[in-house]
Amino acid sequence: MKDIYIKKQLPTASKVLDTYWKFACERQNIFFKRISRKSVLTNDEILIKHKFTNAYRASDRVSQYLIKNVIRYHNQNHEDTLFRILLFKLFNKISTWELLESELGDLTWREYSFDKYNNILLEAMKAKEAIYSGAYIMASGKSYFGYQKKHENHLRLLEHIVKSGFLTKLQGAKSMEDVFHLLLSFPTIGTFLAYQYTIDLNYSELINFSEMDFVYPGPGAKDGIKKCFTNFGDYTESDIIRYVTDIQYEEFDRLGVTFCDLWGRSLQLIDCQNLFCETDKYARVAHPEITGISNRMRIKQIYSKNYSDIEYYYPPKWGINHKIPLSDGKTNKNNLITSRSM
């Protein structure tokens, strides 16, 4: 535990904190079982019925697509990399990216045209296709850019960011928190998106900060923190996320559970932040008597199996891709592993 916390009054845990750690273990067990093509992934009825993200954010399907298909590692044009990451994340939907690629080919800033992108997306909407992910809600941006359609405002936001000199400021940032505040300076980007985009940009070679550098709790995480702790002591919500991240292995030992980390990579701040959000959802069924901030009582998303394969790959700077084994125990020379997603 870091010295900064020794001087503070510790937060008081509720029984939901034990659920937090057990959930992290079981969700990570599911991740490895599906890689091994196990027929039974879990006996947890809540996890069987409802959809939850992975214990590690970078293992989720959309993050994996961003890392493997959107970001270009080594000798890439940095302006194009920035453009591609922000374009993908504005919609956060794989099918939207693939639609644009199928119509326009390689998606680069040099070849970008508002009219071309806009027309493709308008046609998709006319065909009743969803162009945005339902994972989070984007502000429309109408009050700033003036368009009736949300995606038109977001395309203009993308142009605004790239043309503003953001890339130079980004690469001059001294910390992940600096990047967070740079993103906050743009219209329609609030604290939740600023933190998520910071993590996404940090997957690339544009910046290189530790995921232990900075954390900012989103609304779901705040709900989960309130359920896991009856009293925060002298800690802020950000302090609590860092606190649990620091003591993760002590907690697993206390509970007598074995956590299978990501090939030597422990849970980082972003992962523990997300786990609070997922624990908030899980606790709605497991601990309905314990309320959070929003007082939500149901888990909306029902699990449905996705049969498309994922070839797992992580940012090369993490140094774990060579550790990823195939199902026969050997290491893939291409550092990829294929599994079906849950």
* C-alpha span between 43 and 23 (Å, rounded): 12
pLDDT at 298: 75
- 214 within a domain of the structure (yes/no): no
Q: Is residue 291 part of a domain?
A: no
Q: Please tell me whether residue 142 adopts helix, strand or coil conformation.
A: helix
pTM: 0.91
**Main-chain dihedrals φ then ψ at residue 337, nearest 5 degrees:** -135, 140
- How many distinct structural domains can be found in the chain? 1
Burial of 51 (0-12, 13-18, 19+ CB in 10 A): middle
In a domain, 104, yes or no: yes
In a domain, 156, yes or no: yes
With respect to residue 334, please indicate whether it lies within any of the assigned structural domains.
Answer: no
Residue 292 confidence (pLDDT): 85
> What's the pLDDT at 72?
84
pLDDT of 325: 75
Residue 310, Cβ neighbours under 10 Å: how many?
Answer: 20
In a domain, 264, yes or no: no
Given this model, what pLDDT does residue 4 score? 52
For residue 174, being part of any structural domain is answered with: yes
Predicted pLDDT of residue 294: 82
Q: What is the secondary structure of 177-231 as a DSSP string?
A: HHHHHHHHTSTT--HHHHHHHHHHHHTSSS----TTS-----HHHHHHHHHHEEE
Is residue 255 in some structural domain? no
> Tell me, what's the pLDDT at 212?
98
Q: Which two tokens stand for residue 202?
A: 């940090």
Q: What is the per-residue pLDDT for 302?
A: 74
Spans in the chain with pLDDT lower than 50: 327-329, 333-342
In which domain, by residue range, is 185 found? 72-202
Rounded Cα distance between 48 and 289, Å, is 22
